[in-house]
Structure 1
Amino acid sequence: MIVEKTELSEVQKLCVLSFDEMKIKKCYMYDKANDATLQPYNYVQVAILRGLVGNWKQPIFYDYDCAMSKAKLFEIISFVEKAGFPIVAVVSDLGGGNRALHKELGITMQQTWFLSPVSNQKIYCFADVPHLIKLLRNHFVDDGFLLNSVEINKDIIERVIQLTTSTDLNIAHKISMDTLHVKGCQRQKVKFATKLFSHTISRAITRCGMLEGLSEQNWIVCANFFKDVILKKVNILYLFFYFVYIF
């Protein structure tokens, strides 16, 4: 429940709505207080508000086996904004259901916003950054990238690991063969992706390349690509404020 009268200023009331599905244990449960048997569900959809400027957060919605639709999203936005908390952005991952929601909202590469059903102000859509980083890591490891006709892939990183683990001082200590080739549920852990795309590994690639430990000529492109990913991670908050708050 949102309390309209708070000590927050109008600026501190600006908020971001984020939502995601969480897998839950599918089993029957007995509610002793109500003497009722609760049916099993596969997942729970949870929406939470976070202050864009103010340091606060508030769960606002949950439901079981419920995909986020345009109607449900507008219902949540209407409830929140009528309570005096303007929503300036929504954040979600890029799962199939959320991509369908973006299509329903008319979100494209050219138009990254939709109009609030209450204030008629722009609400911007952002992809979940941790999810994007994991997808980037998966594609790099599985298929690699072709950048300006130069292919970069996991082979360079495997060679860096081989070169650095044979010395007393491991300059690529953040990764190993196991954390590079994660499988199954381990791929859901953000830390393995962020440790790969880090200053430490970018510098390790450069060091090995300068010492001619890497025979491939594409190590420079790979090191620069890692730097670009790091820069985007650092600037994501700045870009968020720039596009949402300033405009």
Structure 2
Amino acid sequence: MQLRASIAYNRRKDAVSGFVTDGHEAKKILADHAQVFLIRGLIKNFKQPIAYTFSSGMTKGYELAKQIKEIITGLQQVGFKVLATICDQGTNNRQAIKILKEATRRSYLCQNETEMPRDNIFIINSQEIVPIFDPPHLLKGIRNNLLTKNLNYKIDGKPGTAKWHHLELLYKENPGYKGIRLMPTLTETHIIPTKIPKMKVKYASQIFSRTISSNMGYLAGI
């Protein structure tokens, strides 16, 4: 997350904060970004922030990979079983995941393993971990790509092409009866590219909702 660069004096610790630090070493550079690590239970419903670092600009991929490995190792040492990591599709996040996957493959090669690990995992201290991109960002990413690109697909062996233009037509044709629209939640902030709030997830999820797809399929068959 982005921060406003500033410094502050902590009287209790007799220290000045606001500089770049990875949790071990501070640099004489003002920080303007924070990286927060949080754990969440899969069986039991809990979540807890466990670590944070400060950087100038986004944390570089190699540094982020180092931090992820260190934090997961620490969690394993106190008894946690880490099954997955979740992040958005930021360049540094993707680079960090790639570095961790490549490190896993190198480890297998050095040990002369006959079978390589699966492509969708990395391994830390013999524990397989699945990196996952969080669904809200995936929805926004799919929507943003569909704004400028067509999607080719096959259903039951039959090829087809999905276009943003189809949604524009649906919005224009949005039928109704006595002032009641068939899809009242479909608005120009969902359809017109210049008016779409790109950071709001709901405008992407509602586009791919069952209501929209059902009505589009029904109207296409008329």
**If the length of structure 2 is used for normalisation, what is the TM-score?**
0.74
| 1:207 corresponding residue in structure 2 | 218
State how far apart, in whole Å, the 1-side matches of 2:74 and 2:218 are: 55
State how far apart, in whole Å, the 1-side matches of 2:122 and 2:15 are: 44
**Structure 1 residue 135 and structure 2 residue 115: aligned?**
no
Higher fraction of helix: 1
Contact 1:45 1:64 in 2 (8 A): yes
122, 125, 129: which one pairs with 1:123?
A: 129
State how far apart, in whole Å, the 2-side matches of 1:59 and 1:174 are: 36
| 1:41 corresponding residue in structure 2 | 31
Q: Which runs of 5+ in 2 are unaligned?
A: 20-29, 106-116
Higher fraction of strand: 2
Contact 2:64 2:96 in 1 (8 A): yes
Structure 1 letter corresponding to 2:87: S
State how far apart, in whole Å, the 1-side matches of 2:214 and 2:85 are: 35
Contact 2:84 2:130 in 1 (8 A): yes
State how far apart, in whole Å, the 1-side matches of 2:118 and 2:36 are: 28
**Structure 1 residue 62 and structure 2 residue 52: aligned?**
yes
| 2:92 corresponding residue in structure 1 | 97
State how far apart, in whole Å, the 1-side matches of 2:187 and 2:36 are: 35
Q: Deviations over 1:10-55 (max 9, x none)?
A: xxxxxxxxxxxx222x242544645857455332111100001101
Contact 2:171 2:191 in 1 (8 A): no
What percentage of residue pairs aligned between the two structures are identical?
Answer: 24
Structure 2 letter corresponding to 1:53: I
| 1:172 corresponding residue in structure 2 | 183
Residue 138 of structure 1 deviates from its aligned partner by: 0.7
Q: Which runs of 5+ in 1 are unaligned?
A: 1-21, 212-247
113, 129, 132: which one pairs with 2:121?
A: 113
Q: Cα RMSD (Å) of the superposition?
A: 2.7
Structure 2 letter corresponding to 1:196: I
Moved more, 145-154 or 27-36: 27-36
**Structure 1 residue 153 and structure 2 residue 163: aligned?**
yes
State how far apart, in whole Å, the 2-side matches of 1:184 and 1:62 are: 35
| 2:209 corresponding residue in structure 1 | 198
Moved more, 143-152 or 103-112: 103-112
Moved more, 166-175 or 30-39: 30-39
SS at match of 1:123: strand
Larger relative contact order (CA 8 Å, sep ≥ 6): 1
| 2:172 corresponding residue in structure 1 | 162
